[in-house]
Structure 1
Amino acid sequence: MFDDPLTTGLVGLAAMFVLILAQVPVGIAMGVIGVVGTGLIIGFGPALTLLATEPSAAIAAEGLAVIAMFLLMGNLAHVGGLSDELYRLAYVYLGHRRGGLIFATVGACAGFGAICGSSVATAATMARIALPQMLERGYAKSLAAGSIAAGGTLGMIVPPSVVMILYAILTENSIIALFLAAIVPGLMAVAFYFVAVAIVVKRNPGLAPLGERIDWPERRRAARKSWAVILLAVIVSGGIYSGIFTVSEAASVGASVALLLALVRKRLTRPKFLSALGETASNTGLIFVIIIGASVFSYFATLSGLPAATVAWIEGLGLEPLMVILLLMLFYLVLGALFDTIAAMVLTLPFVYPLVIGMGYDPIWWGVVMIVVIELGMITPPIGINVFVLHGMARDLPLRTIFRGVVPFVFADLARLIVLILFPALSLWLPGQLGWL
């Protein structure tokens, strides 16, 4: 059976999914199958060298240091109280409207996602800040929880995003071009969520009571108190898009500024600092294990001819390119519900990326669309990573309640996804105008 590389590849792919379903970490499962599969094809001597070359290549890759720096920046920003101030700023301007706290939560998720670049971290942070306030003011548990789970996904699409950085590195595309391409879809996500919430609370006002109107002097005070959030966002985003910093430099500067802000505000204690470092190290280590495992598995998959065979098989079906894209969307919806965003993307890139590019689609556009559909999977049953994160932080909220609350946001995401697929210019116009395409 193992004399045929393609058969070996298919068996290896099935074995990898069996390991993942058996709760073996994704990175470990990909690495083990990659080494064993490569050994069966070309011998175990060369295969075992992958365990030396791939980890050293990942650790030495300068681009991957960006991930650690952005994660550290997000953790230090949270320690410095920036997430609380961001929510307060959104609340004083939007809280008086029906569903205003939901609007504030979504807006704060977008802002914090731009700082930390992580969907799960955004959902976890806003669960601590926004959920108690919404429940205290009489908001329905389902809508309150659903807005946080869905708002957390904005951390994946609002630049700078860890997943976007990883996609750009693995596919050898420009990180800045991808960031620019995500700006309009990110703004669309916030707008579509606002429309969905407005429709829901109009039909059932009892889900979201009216809040108190904050006067303009208090709004200006809240804006002044949020100077640190604005400063960090301007330095990082402004530095990247103006060309002052490379992405790597912006990540390092952002982490340094977040550290200085926490120190100046006297919020950085030794335990909090060590906790931020520990959380950054653990998350970075997890991502690196996935990257190393994916590199080993990709080597095996290429040797077996699986990517080329997959492309040839789909092309042989004679489907229109748009139909292929729609089938991939269904595939990623299922995959996003079962795996976290990074794992879902890394697992499929060796097969899907050549197919999409071969049909003539732009790799930057595809990166945005793929991330949008995977993030949608993070709030859909049966797994919905963000839903389980929220449930873990608020045990008194049943999973059924949270899933019921995300329904309006799922429809909003589906509408946005359709628009982005039908009108690629929404993603490509800005990087094109600024000369990054």
Structure 2
Amino acid sequence: MTDLTIGILGLACMFGLMILRTPVAFAMLLVGFFGIWVLDGVNRAGAVMMTETYSSISNYNLIVVPMFVLLGNIASEAGFSRSLYDAAYAWVGRFRGGLATASVMGCAAFSAVSGSSVATAVTIGRVALPEMRRLGYGDSLSTGSIAAGGTLGFLIPPSTGFVIYAILTEESIGRLFMAGILPGILMMALFIGAIWLVTLRNPALGPKGDPAPLADRIKLFGKATPLLAVIFLSIGGIYAGIFTPVEASGIGAGLVILIALATRAMNRAGYAKAIMDTVRTSAMLYMIVIGANVLNPFLALTDITVALSEGMAAMGLGRYGTLVLILLSYVVLGMFLDGLAMLVVTIPIYYPIILGLGFDPIWFGVIAVIVIEMGMITPPVGLNVFVVKGVAKDVPMKTIFAGVFPFLAAMIVCLVLIILFPQIALLIPNSMFG
């Protein structure tokens, strides 16, 4: 049996384990360890397990994960996320579909502190869905806007997706964070455009709200200002070169904790819950990184990346034809894998191919994250759809999936625009880092 055959069997076993509900981290860990054992002996497998585990845990750059997760959890528990939503609604709620628009804007703002798609969908969903239902919004538009808006948490910095991509490829976390800003704003604008088109076709799905007096709008914006200031200080500080992404994560988490203490917005139980949620999420992400770093040496031993690259080249599809093929594979994988699983499984395989084709790796990171975002709202997995279903328990799954289709179309438009105009993703990082 050749090394390549062993590699293909190993990947098949890994996908099989994932389908059987084995956690992604342990599926990669098992296949990587036993694959190296078969190819290079038990001593080599044990050495890789120990060294990669230590190097993953001691990676300084990974500190951004627990810090930004803590920032988002504190903001959620303290109710700061509600202030973002209320401020957005006060300014746009008087328009048709305004509440759904406010939900998308709230998701975008909260994404800048949470870095998590699921956390964004849950947090804003709990606040916005009852309000949309009270004001007579259609279930499809209300749930679809939350499920789609939540995906912004995987694109707008600080994105955990970008952190994992950076760790796997050794690219700059700062460049990736900056690359996500304009695409994130573009996608938010396209989501709002989708809401406008849906309500233009059927105004009953998103009735207008009562206009808020200017004084109330200013007051609500003022309540959201402290968290917005933390967002701009963290992301703006990275852009200005004042501090690194790791330093920004610590400063942001520290500031939001101080704001929560100063305003007495949380009790002891709230702090404990935020910390425990942070520990659980961070442990899961660290395990995924460890699993990926054990799997990667196994894939290198099998030369599966080289074989795949040569196979794609033999098809004669050209640079962009090969890129489309890679993106289509993400669509297929999204039918049964969640976003982080797709990222850690595919990037070690596709990254060398992308470099060989001459594409910018930072640009491809943005493209990959957007395609993975699409998988978060497409059947049958659609993780964000299931999250929204957990908040709106009486809404049928088919209604939620129907509601996300206009937003899925908006994501496709965003993806095409960034492929045609790479500077949308590269303008800020190139101007910042040269």
Q: TM-score, normalised by structure 1?
A: 0.97
Is the 2:74–2:274 Cα contact (8 Å) retained in structure 1? yes
1:361 aligns with 2:369: no
Shift in Å, 1:337 = 3.6
Residue of structure 2 in register with 1:338 after alignment? 336
CA RMSD of aligned residues (A): 1.1
Aligned to 2:261: 263
1: CA distance, partners of 2:229 / 2:422: 32
Structure 2: tracts of 5 or more residues without a match: none
- Correspondence 1:90-239 to 2 at 5 A: 90-239=88-237
How much has 1:83 moved relative to structure 2?
0.3
Residues 50 and 296 in structure 1, CA contact (< 8 A), matched pair in contact too: yes
Secondary structure in 2 aligned to 1:418?
helix
Q: Is the 8 A contact 2:19 2:336 kept in 1?
A: no
Q: Who is 2:416 aligned against? A: 418
Residues 337 and 385 in structure 1, CA contact (< 8 A), matched pair in contact too: no
Secondary structure at the counterpart of residue 24 of structure 1: coil
1: CA distance between counterparts of 2:348 and 2:127?
Answer: 39
Contact 1:336 1:375 in 2 (8 A): no
Query: What's the CA shift for 1:165?
Result: 1.6
- In the alignment, structure 1 residue 21 sits paired with structure 2 residue 14: no
Distance, in Å, in 1 between the alignment partners of 2:64 and 2:427 is 26
Q: Counterpart of 1:34?
A: 32
Identity among equivalent pairs (%): 42
Counterpart in the other structure of 1:326: 324
Contact preservation (8 Å) 1:337, 1:378: no
* 1:72-119 CA-partner distances (Å, limit 9, x unpaired): 110011122210000001000000000000110000000000111110
Q: Which amino acid aligns with 1:243?
A: G
Equivalent pair of 1:146/1:403 in contact (CA under 8 Å) = yes
Distance in 1 (CA, whole Å) between partners of 2:161 and 2:21 is 22
Contact 1:94 1:100 in 2 (8 A): yes
**1:96 touches 1:210 (CA, 8 Å); kept in 2?**
yes
**Aligned-residue offset at 1:315:** 1.1
Deviations 1:134-165 (A, max 9, x none): 00100001110000000000011111111112
2:371 alignment counterpart: 373
Tell whether the 8 Å contact from 1:63 to 1:248 is kept in structure 2 after alignment.
Answer: yes
Q: CA deviation at 1:5?
A: 1.1
Aligned-partner SS, 1:226: helix
Q: Which amino acid aligns with 1:18?
A: G
Structure 1 unaligned segments of length 5 or more: list them.
none
- Residue-by-residue CA offset, 1:219-251 (whole Å, 9 max, x unaligned): 111111222122211221122111111110110
Q: Are the aligned partners of 1:65 and 1:248 in contact in 2 as well (CA < 8 Å)?
A: yes
Task: Determine helix, strand or coil for the equivalent of 2:242.
Answer: coil
- In 1, Cα distance between the equivalents of 2:206 and 2:10? 51
SS of alignment partner, residue 334 of structure 2: helix
Contact conserved, 2:338 with 2:381, CA < 8 A, in 1? no
CA shift at 1:369, angstroms?
A: 0.6
Classify the secondary structure of the residue corresponding to 1:149. helix
Tell me how far 1:193 sits from its aligned partner: 0.7
Q: What's the offset of the Cα at 1:338? A: 2.2
Q: Which residue of 2 aligns with 1:48?
A: 46
The Cα shift of 1:368 comes to 0.4
Q: Which string of whole-angstrom CA distances, capped at 9 and with x for unpartnered residues, describes residues 20-60 of structure 1?
A: 11111111011101111101111112112222212111111
Q: CA deviation at 1:176?
A: 1.6
Name the structure 2 match of 1:86: 84
* Cross-structure match for 1:294: 292
How many residue pairs get aligned? The number is 434
Which residue type is aligned with residue 373 of structure 1?
V
1:388-427 equivalent positions in 2, closer than 5 A: 388-427=386-425
CA distance in 2, matches of 1:180, 1:227: 22
Distance in structure 2 (CA, Å) of the matches to 1:268 and 1:58: 33
Q: What secondary structure, in the 3-state scheme, does the structure 2 residue paired with 1:153 have?
A: helix
The answer to whether the 8 A contact 2:339-2:376 is kept is yes
Write out the 4+ residue segments of structure 1 that deviate beyond 3 Å after TM superposition.
none
**CA-to-partner distance for each residue in 1:269-293, whole Å, 9 max, x for gaps?**
1111111111111111111111111
CA distance in 2, matches of 1:17, 1:337: 12
SS of match in other structure, 1:96 = coil
TM-score, normalised via structure 2 length: 0.98
CA contact (8 A) 1:379 1:387 kept: yes
Q: Which of 281, 284, 288 is the matching residue for 1:283?
A: 281
Hey, what's the Cα distance between the residues in 2 that align with 1:45 and 1:433?
Answer: 47
Deviation, structure 1 residue 418: 0.9
Contact 1:80 1:261 (8 Å CA) reproduced: no
Matched residue, 1:382: 380
Whether the 8 Å CA contact 1:311–1:351 is kept in 2: the answer is no
8 Å Cα contact 2:180/2:366 also seen in 1: yes
